[in-house]
Chain A
Amino acid sequence: MSSQIEVVFIEGLCPFQKAWTLQRERLEHVRRGTMPNALFLLEHAPVITLGRNSRDEHVLASSNELSRKGIEVVSTDRGGDVTYHGPGQMVAYPILNLRQWQKSIRWYLRSLEEVVITLLDTYGVSATREPPFTGVWARGEKVAAIGVGLRDWVTFHGLSLNVNTDLKAFELIVPCGLYGKSVTSLQKILGKSLSMADVMERFTEIFCRQFSANQPKIF
């Protein structure tokens, strides 16, 4: 088995369903060993997604308001609560066979956080974890959300990082079901918008370093 990771950049605003289908197809290939692990990087068209732990009351906006704004609500097979995806937000969907690294969900979640923390550091932003919650915070506000799914130890879904996201969209929901915790973006922290291509490039480099530093176990 190889721990190779193929990085796939998806251009434009990717509809949620399209990315979901791509992930599931890839997952089956990775599971069978017919294709290498993958990292999908993209921006979504505006969408609210529900995880397996979502409560309906965590979507604050009425269905009328959402349809007027053209925002779809999708129930998904990831862990976690409700979140928003949209333009200006970097979304990363790693399809990794964790057998090649560590069969540990906890290790995987902490590794994703580490990639984001290291990435933000390259922009001079000091970011932290807020145990027991999963995700990455900066200046007391959440900047990256994480929610994953696993099938046979192959991961799908992943993380979203607010780069230049319109943060008003998060007022439509209770992000991650956490009342009283607000959401931020790199744009808000730095006072200027960033190049998404640059963020994705740095993310890719740090991600690949993070996951190749842990050699696959050989039995």
Chain B
Amino acid sequence: MKVEIRLPELGEDAEEKASVSRWLVNIGDIVNTGDDLIELTTDKAAFTVPCPQNGVVVELLVEEGDEVVAGDPLCILES
């Protein structure tokens, strides 16, 4: 089954925009819950977004430099 992974709320800074710094996984990678998927930056902070479930990465929907907000699709996993 294909599952779209979306950017979760960035804590209490809900309206915050973040910029994609780099992917930490590649297409074809097996990922587990809690693995770091992607690194984002806001202002002076860089942070990683953990994977919410197990699966295989089949598609990356954003690339380096893209701006994202909570709810935006990041990638597709086959689980």
| CA–CA, A103 and B41, complex, Å | 15
Give the residues in chain B near A148, CB-CB below 8 Å: 44-46
| CA–CA, A107 and B21, complex, Å | 22
Give the residues in chain A near B59, CB-CB below 8 Å: none
In the complex, A46 has a CB within 8 A of chain B: no
**Cβ of B46 and Cβ of A106 under 8 Å apart?**
no
Instruction: Report A41 CB to chain B, min CB distance, Å.
Output: 20
**Cβ of A106 and Cβ of B48 under 8 Å apart?**
no
**Cβ of B44 and Cβ of A146 under 8 Å apart?**
yes
Interface size on A, residues (CB 8 A): 26
Instruction: Report B51 CB to chain A, min CB distance, Å.
Output: 11
Q: Looking at B13, B34, B50, which has the most chain A CB atoms within 10 Å of its CB? A: B13
| Other-chain contact of A78, B11, B16, B46 (Cβ < 8 Å) | B46
Instruction: Tell me the total A-B contact number using a CB cutoff of 8 A.
Output: 68
**Cβ of A147 and Cβ of B44 under 8 Å apart?**
yes
CB-CB contacts of B2-13 with A at 8 A, as 1s and 0s?
A: 000000001111
In the complex, A174 has a CB within 8 A of chain B: no
How many chain B residues sit at the interface, stated as a range, is 10 to 19
**Cβ of A109 and Cβ of B12 under 8 Å apart?**
no
**Cβ of B47 and Cβ of A151 under 8 Å apart?**
yes
Instruction: Report A82 CB to chain B, min CB distance, Å.
Output: 13
In the complex, A134 has a CB within 8 A of chain B: yes
Q: Looking at A98, A108, A147, A149, which has the most chain B CB atoms within 10 Å of its CB? A: A149
**Cβ of B44 and Cβ of A79 under 8 Å apart?**
yes
**Cβ of B50 and Cβ of A104 under 8 Å apart?**
no
| Other-chain contact of A105, B10, B21, B36, B50 (Cβ < 8 Å) | B10
In the complex, A187 has a CB within 8 A of chain B: no
- In chain A, what residue has the closest Cβ to B14? A104
Give the residues in chain B near A104, CB-CB below 8 Å: 11-13
**Cβ of B41 and Cβ of A105 under 8 Å apart?**
no
| Other-chain contact of B12, A51, A52, A107 (Cβ < 8 Å) | A107
CB-CB contacts of A95-118 with B at 8 A, as 1s and 0s?
A: 000100011111111000000000
Give the residues in chain B near A150, CB-CB below 8 Å: 45-48
Ordered by A's residue number, 25 sampled pairs between the chains whose C-beta atoms are within 8 Å are A51-B44, A52-B41, A78-B44, A79-B41, A79-B43, A79-B46, A98-B11, A102-B12, A104-B11, A105-B16, A105-B45, A105-B47, A106-B13, A106-B16, A107-B12, A107-B13, A109-B44, A134-B43, A146-B44, A147-B44, A148-B46, A150-B45, A150-B47, A151-B36, A152-B34
Known: A105-B10, A148-B45. 12 other contacts (CB 8 A): A80-B43, A98-B11, A104-B11, A104-B12, A104-B13, A105-B45, A134-B43, A148-B46, A149-B46, A150-B45, A150-B46, A151-B36
